[in-house]
Amino acid sequence: MIRLVGILVGLGFTFVVLLAFVTGAYTAATEEVAETAEHAFHEEAHGPEAGYSFDGVFGTWNYAQLQRGYQVYKEVCSACHSLKFVAFRDLAQLGYSEAQVKAEAATWQVPGINPDTGENEMRQALPTDYFPSPYPNAVAAAAANNNAIPPDLSLMTKARHHGSNYVYSLLTGYQQPPERMLEDFPDAAPGTGLYYNPYFANLNLAMAPPLTSDGQVTYADGTDATISQMSQDVAAFLTWTAEPALIKRKQTGLPVLGFLLFATILAWFAKKQVWADVKPKRRKD
């Protein structure tokens, strides 16, 4: 009797699951999906017209651009965003000398402890320190940014699809919402403290346009600091923070592929040589 009840319960459960599956499949196949503002107005990220120096198999770092991107981060982005996985000593990879790295680190303040009193205090950063957060904690970060916590930028280009292009498009993509969107999707209009950007996932984000005018940053090398140029430079810099070994990996990969191709050809000839004198056996009928 218990076995019969168990079988009936199992059959009932199977029937319910099958019915739910068939109903869901039928609904998905026949029901029209309502268009959303995100689907209608979201745009795919794109990079600068000239592209990036690190694109492609033979790409390389443009160290002058990386240094300009660091300058944009320091003077603009660091007011809200941290780089918690990057140490000041890593800047040596951008072409800075040891003395320059030490001097640059000293321009930043990081949390420390007073050796005499044991109390918390701010001190000059050392090359071994990591880039500090502009806020003491997440609560303070949210309170200063319309209840939105600015994300850390260390791995941003790895965390977003087409990361370098995403950063560039986001920084250059702020604009007024299209009239058609306001008419067809009034609920999608930017609320208080939000800004329309078609390259952001839900079109509206709490970050105000960080790059608002040409010449906002005065480049040390004299490059014309247009909004497009600054966006491209900081996107390249954030690509380096996320993948500092990108170019080295490409440079290593090409010889490895060449070796594997050579080894494959060599193995094929070796096989032909070893089995050259071996004749296939004839089948006896």
Asked if 257 contacts 58 with a C-beta cutoff of 8 angstroms, the reply is: no
> Residue 157 is encoded by which pair of tokens?
């280009």
- Residue 113: strand, helix, or coil: strand
Q: Is 57 exposed, middle or buried (CB count within 10 Å of its CB: 0-12, 13-18, 19+)?
A: exposed
What are the mean pLDDT values of the chain's consecutive 10-residue runs (285 residues total)?
A: 77 84 76 77 92 93 97 97 97 96 96 83 94 94 92 96 96 94 88 93 93 96 96 98 94 88 91 78 64
Determine whether the annotation assigns residue 39 to a binding site: no
Q: Domains in the chain, start-ordered, CATH in brackets?
A: 38-83+152-247 (1.10.760.10)
Confidence (pLDDT) at 217: 96
Confidence (pLDDT) at 13: 83
How many whole angstroms from its chain centre is CA 150? 14
User: How big is the chain, counted in residues?
Assistant: 285
Confidence (pLDDT) at 107: 96
Distance CA 63, CA 179 (A): 42
Asked if 233 contacts 76 with a C-beta cutoff of 8 angstroms, the reply is: no
Confidence (pLDDT) at 159: 95
Supply the angle between the helices 163-172 and 227-242 in degrees, to the nearest 10: 150
Confidence (pLDDT) at 285: 57
> Residue 88 is encoded by which pair of tokens?
């000041």
Determine whether the annotation assigns residue 77 to a binding site: yes
> Residue 130 is encoded by which pair of tokens?
């990591």
Confidence (pLDDT) at 283: 66
Distance CA 40, CA 202 (A): 11
Confidence (pLDDT) at 179: 92
Strands 109-113 and 120-124: antiparallel
Confidence (pLDDT) at 33: 63
Query: Which residues are bridge partners to 256 per DSSP?
Result: none
C-alpha count within 13 angstroms, C-beta hemisphere, residue 139? 0
Confidence (pLDDT) at 4: 76
Determine whether the annotation assigns residue 207 to a binding site: yes
Contacts of 106 (CB under 8 A, 6+ apart): 124, 125
Of 86, 72, 90, 134, which is closest to residue 109 (Cα–Cα)?
134
| 111 DSSP 8-state letter | E
